[in-house]
Amino acid sequence: MSEGANGARSALQEVRSAYRLGIITPARKRAFFAAMALAGLALPFAVYPVFLMNVLCMALFASAFNLLLGYTGLLSFGHGMFLGMGMYGATLIQIHFLKGHFVLPVLMGTALSALTGAVVGFLVMRRRGVYFALLTLAFTQLFFTICYRWTDVTGGENGISGLKRPESFLGLDLRSDYAFYYVCMVLLLACMVLIRRILDAPFGRVLQAIRDNEVRAASVGYNPRRYRHVAVIISGTFVGFAGALFAYLNYFAYPEVFHSAFS
């Protein structure tokens, strides 16, 4: 079992122990989240909002990565591939087809990442452990090479610029870093809550059972390969969503996110 999986189990056991001992009560939990929400609202007035949005995007990236490593036991060196597909998907769709739009390019970039997760996941799911990790590394390097050399579409090493935030989205001018920060904060926190709900659902329990003892999980009727494949798709989808917002944050997409060093 990987160190990440052991760490996730230890953290979960500590939280459960805290609940049993009464250290964490529902009232304290609500107070904590209320304080965090107030801090999130006030932070952009004390810290550069672009930096905060980078932190939020990478936090969602890490949460989605943890879904795969901590709860499924799969180490991926290729998650930059999903981030890049979300970035380039949203950027290309807005520049060439939906100029000035925000929602549809983000959704389409996310869908492209989900499709990438479905295809790549299907191809690498026959291997486990270090072989799975090396295959994900190979695929992200393949995507990096394609992105770096297909200059007519991706812009090569210069990337693609020209992405624009809309002037009006739910009454907010997203060209303002402060307005875009609040939109990103709501969307990305909603994604993290959704990830938490997925992990607390029966599906998440099955993933943990497969991680702990694959043979036993298979003996009671679960298909480990299918559940792992779905986990890769879900993880890639959330990373792609973060990538699409990351593109709007920086106004362009660049190939370095595909590189294994980024993952």
Rg value, the chain, Cα? 19
The pLDDT assigned to 1 comes to 46
Residue 164 · residue 96 · CB < 8 Å: no
Mean pLDDT of the region 204-231: 85
Report if residue 4 sits inside a domain.
no
Closest CA relative to residue 199, chosen from 69, 81, 55: 69
Q: What does the block give as tokens for 85? A: 């597909």
Q: Which residues contact 235 (CB under 8 A, 6 or more apart)?
A: 64, 65, 67, 68, 76, 79, 82, 117
Residue 14 lies in a domain: no
Half-sphere exposure of 60 (CA within 13 A, CB side): 30
88 in a domain, yes or no? yes
Please state the domain count of the chain: 1
Answer yes or no: is 36 within a domain.
no
pLDDT tens-digit series, residues 176-208: 888 888 888 888 888 888 988 888 888 888 888
Q: Which residue, 247, 168, 253, is CA-closest to 176?
A: 168
Please check the confidence at residue 44 and state whether its pLDDT lies above 80.
Answer: no
Q: Is 228 within the bounds of a domain?
A: yes
Q: Which domain holds residue 119?
A: 47-258
Residue 2 located in a structural domain: no
Q: Which pLDDT value is given to residue 9?
A: 55
Average pLDDT over residues 19-43: 66
Count of residues in the chain? 263
Which strand (E) or helix (H) includes residue 160? Answer: strand 160-161
Paired with 160 in beta bridges are 253
* Higher per-residue confidence, 152 vs 243: 243
Exposed e or buried b per residue across 22-43, where buried means at least 16 C-beta atoms within 10 angstroms of its C-beta: eeeeeeeeeeeeeeeeeebeeb
Give the pLDDT band of residue 143 (cuts 50, 70, 90): confident
Q: Which one is predicted more confidently, 11 or 232?
A: 232
Mean pLDDT of 203-230: 85
* Residue 60 belongs to a domain: yes
Report the distance separating Cα 71 and Cα 132, nearest Å: 16
The answer to the question of residue 200 being in a domain is yes
**141: confidence class by pLDDT, cuts 50, 70, 90:** confident
